[in-house]
Amino acid sequence: MFILLLTSTLSLTFNIQPVRSSPTTITVPDDYSAIQEAINHAGEGDTIFVRNGTYYENMVVNKTISLIGENREATIIDGNENGTVVLVLANNTMVRGFTIKGSGDKTVDGEHAIRCGIMVGGYETPFENTLIVNNSIKDNYFGVLLWYSFNSQLIDNNIDDSTYGVTLDHAFYNDIVDNDVSNNSLGISAQNTLQSNITRNNITFNKIVGLRMQDSYLNTINENIMKNNGYGVDFSGSDSNNITSNTMTSNDNGIFLGRSNGNTLIGNNASNSLYGMRIRSSSNNTLRNNTMTQNYWNFAIDADYLSETIHDIDTSNTVDSKPIVYWIDEHDKQVTTDAGFVAAINCSGITVKNVNLTRNNLGVLFWGTSNSTIENASISNNWIGVALLLSNHTKLENSVVANNSEEGVVSIGNENNITGNTIRSNGRTALLLSLSNKNIVDNNTISNNGESSIGLESSCNNTITNNEILNNTGGISLYSYSNDNLIHDNTVLNSHETGIQLTFHSKSNLIYHNNFINNTVRAYCSEESMNVWDDGYPSGGNYWSDYNGTDLYRGPYQNETGRDGIGDIPYVIDTDNQDNYPLMPPYVPVLGDLNQDGIVNILDAIQSASAFGSHAGHPKWNEQADINRDGIVNILDVIILANNFGKH
């Protein structure tokens, strides 16, 4: 019994299990000459302290350790162009106080390879709680790559002179805070990233973009400074993010949202860039208290569909200290005269009057808006001056639309009136009607525009009349099945290319009483475009400054003795198009000749009486009867007609 008890006691006394020692500090090069060697001999939770010096290594951190350099400028880990310098494949690690450089380019002997200053995770194996703090990470392909990295922190680092500065890929719940990210091709790039925080970083001089997010959600972009980058902030396919209190200066684009929905942008300042803020093919974003100043174009909405114009944007947002007016489903309202940008979406009865709209991609945007008016406005130096999209029964009148980079006015709509405007020095077409019918373009002065003065694309039954079209690249252009339009009483002078052209099956248009003077090419029609170029006899056709016929005869067949102001032979444009009654002197309209038959007579008086008392929109309205163009047919118009009665 004693022997058994003794045996049992001895067994208990000497059955001792090994006990793990407390975390220790290993010093390089004191304990090991190479950092990787120290890592290999370290235990979980150990600290590896690295003295100043240059260490040519490509290391793998595959256990929980703290890797600390003596001085970040003097403790250098150089990958010697051989690949990733520090690869972290463990949880709860720290890298602090190093210069990490020299991963090399992305290819090795022509094969694709990921080469990083620091890479955390990878190959779809997530690692978490990595702390990268107070390092200088430069001259790498990827500066820092967080790949399947969760809850990691990148704080107070300089990340410079790499192709990609900081990259997050399938990285969730990370903090990128107080870093300087400069002189990379891409500063910070995130894709498939969720609920990460990018705050108080200085992001400057990155060639392509400061901060890019692709297919990323619920992230916070806060209090960053972005200066002298290609794009400042570039979002693509990224929803429900918060972009707040960032400063973007001297970038190609301050903030760009593309195919990105439901984001909130508050208190951002974008200045001295090509675009301040640009929203493209996106919806349901909320903007508050954003300021855009001294950008070439301050604010831009680019949309292909109505749904892409639906945003919550109030007047706390400003362009050059003037409020953005962005109305959806509003009715019978007038825009304040201090507006800097105007958009009316699905509205009616909107008045835009006495405003100065400049330096945006659009001066005025009407989309799905009806029975509205733009008048006495100055709209200049935008990408496009006025866009009337799917908007009907709307007026643009007595406004100046000038020096816009593309079109002056674009209209896709029906029964709009564009009257009494000055449209000049725009980069492309002064006035483009596309898929537009029954519009009236009247009494505008259109000059010095880069392409056509008036362009009709797939547009029918419009009236183009009484316009002065001077010194444009092209005059009037109809194309793509623009049929049955009425073009009369216009002067087209000094076009550098064609005075009037009709192409791509544009036919059955009636063109008369126009003056085509000193245009390089007077008229051109493609083979499938046959049109009518005169109003019959004696009303006549058009004046052509290069017509070399004579006026010795008169009558419908020009075979009766006596002059009549009409050329004796037709003006031939091509085999299918000719002006049968070309005018000898330039056409000068006779006031009161309402039916434009060349004489003021009882027929005109009957038209005037029928329209008496009417105004635009009245069932009896006859625009021709409003001789003095004051918007109503009254006794003043009757007096003018009476004073000209009998004139021809």
pTM given for the model: 0.87
What average pLDDT does the segment 111-128 reach? 82
Is there a contact between 174 and 153 (Cβ–Cβ < 8 Å)? yes
Considering only CA atoms, give the Rg of the chain: 37
Cis check for the bond before 29: say yes or no (omega within 30 of 0): yes
Q: CA torsion sign, 18 to 24 to 26 to 27?
A: negative
Is there a contact between 556 and 564 (Cβ–Cβ < 8 Å)? no
Residue 644 pLDDT: 83
The type of residue at 504 is F
Is there a contact between 298 and 324 (Cβ–Cβ < 8 Å)? no
pLDDT over threshold 80, residue 507: yes
Which residues on neighbouring strands pair with residue 131, listed in sequence order?
A: 94, 153
Angle between helices 602-611 and 635-643 (to 10 degrees): 180
Q: Using 50, 70 and 90 to split pLDDT, how confident is the model at 265?
A: very high
pLDDT over threshold 70, residue 20: no
CA 126/CA 172 separation, integer angstroms: 10
Q: State phi, psi for 308 to the nearest 5 degrees.
A: -85, 0
CA 298/CA 309 separation, integer angstroms: 17
Q: State phi, psi for 278 to the nearest 5 degrees.
A: -130, 125
Of residues 270 and 640, which shows the higher confidence score?
A: 270
CB atoms within 10 A of CB 244: 19
Q: What is the pLDDT of residues 166-224, one digit of tens each?
A: 999 999 999 999 999 999 999 999 999 999 999 999 999 999 999 999 999 999 999 99
Residue 21 pLDDT: 63
Residue 8 pLDDT: 39
Q: Which residue ranges form the domains of the chain, and what is each CATH number? A: 202-298 (no CATH), 406-589 (no CATH), 602-643 (1.10.1330.10)
Q: Which residue has the tokens 């407390």?
A: 22
pLDDT over threshold 90, residue 469: yes
Is there a contact between 349 and 330 (Cβ–Cβ < 8 Å)? no
What average pLDDT does the segment 10-35 reach? 72
CA 540/CA 648 separation, integer angstroms: 12
Q: Using 50, 70 and 90 to split pLDDT, how confident is the model at 90?
A: very high
pLDDT over threshold 50, residue 6: no
Is there a contact between 174 and 152 (Cβ–Cβ < 8 Å)? yes
CA 550/CA 294 separation, integer angstroms: 59
Q: State phi, psi for 169 to the nearest 5 degrees.
A: -135, 115
The tokens of 56 are what?
């040519």
Residue 639 pLDDT: 81
